[in-house]
Structure 1
Amino acid sequence: MKNWLFLGVAIIAEVVATSSLKASEGFTKVWPSLLVVLGYGVAFYFLSLTLKSIPVGIAYAIWSGLGIVLISLVAWLMFGQKLDFASIIGMTLIVAGVVVINLFSKVSAH
């Protein structure tokens, strides 16, 4: 169970880092730039812990799928970026894929 917690921490840290990357304005702002470095460091460290028991393909599918959805929500809330119908449908399919992997995959570590 802790491996799923590690994956969750990795995903959240990556979303924080990516959001800070936008806010850093090309690494010209100090505090967002520091969050980028710290966030990605935390994200990759916890992803590495996750990979001790969750297959890399499964972990990466969940990491990237949920990361895409979460960063899109953050971009919408914090930066006013718009999502069109096609992007919402695409992200819904990504979430559906993550759910299918977690519910039905025999290689996923449950």
Structure 2
Amino acid sequence: MSYLYLTAAILFEVCGTTCMKLSEGFTRVLPSILIFVFYGISFMFFTIALKKIDVSVGYAIWAGLGVAMISFIGFVGFHEQMTLVKLMSIALIIIGVVGLHLSTNAH
């Protein structure tokens, strides 16, 4: 169940970050408000998830998958450049997250 909370935290964090871009520097009201709503919900779910997940693993998954998802949204939704170096870097983040998760399960 903790990983469901972590998944929700990641999704709401990605929504909040996307709203940062959509707010155009806090010049658009609704996306500006939604930044705080989505981040508040994200932190709530993340806090609940950390009851059962090691903070090092939880934060790595939260940050790593958030970066990967935001990179994809930037590429598809905002037409940002996706280079081979970016793709390789995202792959390394995901490998690191998997490694942390596996090291925790080994104990």
Give the TM-score taking structure 1 as reference length.
0.90
Identify unmatched segments of 5+ residues in structure 2: none
1:54 partner SS? coil
Q: Which amino acid aligns with 1:24?
A: S
Residue pairs, 1:38-49, within 5 angstroms: 38-49=37-48
Shift of 1:96: 1.4
Residue pairs, 1:1-110, within 5 angstroms: 2-102=1-101, 104-105=102-103, 107-108=104-105
Shift of 1:101: 2.5
Shift of 1:27: 1.0
1:13-43 CA deviation, whole Å, 9 max, x = no partner? 0000001001101111111112111110011
2:69 partner SS? helix
Identify unmatched segments of 5+ residues in structure 1: none
1:32 partner SS? helix
Size of the alignment, in residue pairs?
A: 105
Counterpart-to-counterpart distance in 2, 1:55 and 1:6:
14
- The farther-off stretch of 9-18 and 24-33 is 24-33
CA RMSD of aligned residues (A): 1.0
Q: Which amino acid aligns with 2:75?
A: W
Counterpart-to-counterpart distance in 2, 1:79 and 1:43:
23
Percent identity, aligned pairs only?
Answer: 39
1:44-86 CA deviation, whole Å, 9 max, x = no partner? 0111001111111110000011000000001111110011111
Counterpart-to-counterpart distance in 2, 1:73 and 1:59:
21
Counterpart-to-counterpart distance in 2, 1:77 and 1:37:
24
